[in-house]
Amino acid sequence: MTYAQAACGAVERALAADARVVVLGEDVGRGGIFGQYQGLQQKFGAARVIDTPISEATIMGAAVGMALAGLRPVVEMRVVDFALCAVDEIVNQAAKARFMFGGQGRVPLVARLPIGIWSGSAAQHSQSLEAWFAHVPGLVVVAPGSPQDNCGLLATAIDCGDPVIYMEHKELWGLEEEVDAAQRVPLGKARVLQAGTDVTLVSWSRAVQVARLAAAEAKAQEISVELIDLRTIWPWDRETVLASAAKTRRLVVAHEAVQVGGFGAEIAATVAEELGVPVRRVGGARIPVGYAPPLEDEARVSAGAIARALRA
């Protein structure tokens, strides 16, 4: 099934299993703009799959209240760029309620904030802002890179007792693979996609697909790459990454987000501090994503750029 269908199935099973689960957001009644809620309002009704006005602050504020009152809302923000209108509710309310009230109130919501370059959609619809949310105490941050992970991680996120920033990629919705709907994916656990001995390559979200191409290019040059899909940005799987880097003695981190201040810097710094091995980062240029294809390509991280870092 596709990345979108896998996520839709996870939400459908959560709605069926737990009456506290609700969905709210713009266009969810007609299935969402990527088909990630297809048929759910028809099956569960408009009181549980709730169409909202075009007001991200209102949507997120209502969801925080729902969560504090005992529900488990799945909040659709359409794209992360639009969710910036709801940052106060996410950062100052959802993230801090459990701490500020001594655990008397928790906010078990999932905020779906799709990230990444969206072809032909320009600067206001093409951002990857996972590092922003990883910086905020109280938030769990997830970035699934495959249909199987989008199914298994979303189910786990809905069951989590804390606010989860769930960041699907805008250009992965049609990606297909076999999916085991019963397989849960734990938060905070990376996946080793390919074993290797010469260099560790860590990535997440759609950049994993690009990293696969780079690893194949490196293999043709007799460089053995261990490829890791981080999957959860916070908490990130330090143990798996450190164990791999201790074996290969080299690390490259690649992500689509702007390299400056990106989460790759946290991983690189941790590995350098713990192991003292050489590290390199590959990320987007610090430029707004252009509308014209040649300008958009300047903002993309290519397999060639990752392969060059692996060779270096």
Catalytic residue positions, numbered: 56, 125
Contact 6, 151 (CB under 8 A): yes
Q: What is the DSSP pairing of strand 110-112 with strand 140-142?
A: unpaired
Residue ranges of alpha helices (H) inside the chain are 3-17, 40-44, 56-68, 80-83, 87, 97-100, 130-134, 147-159, 207-220, 238-248, 263-275, 293-299, 303-311
Cis peptide, bond prior to residue 137, ω within 30 of zero: no
Q: Please, what's the b/e burial string for 101-117 (b: 16 or more CB within 10 A of its CB; e: otherwise)?
A: eeeeebbbbbbbbbbbb
Nearest-angstrom CA–CA distance, 5 and 150: 9
Q: What are phi and psi of 182, to 5 degrees?
A: -85, -10
From the list 172, 186, 162, the residue with the least C-alpha distance to 256 is 172
Q: How many CA atoms lie within 13 A of 242 on its CB side?
A: 13
Contact 27, 49 (CB under 8 A): no
Q: What HEC string does 200-233 produce? A: EEEECCCHHHHHHHHHHHHHHCCCCEEEEECCEE
First-to-last C-alpha distance (Å) of the chain: 38
Count of other CB atoms within 10 angstroms of residue 16: 11
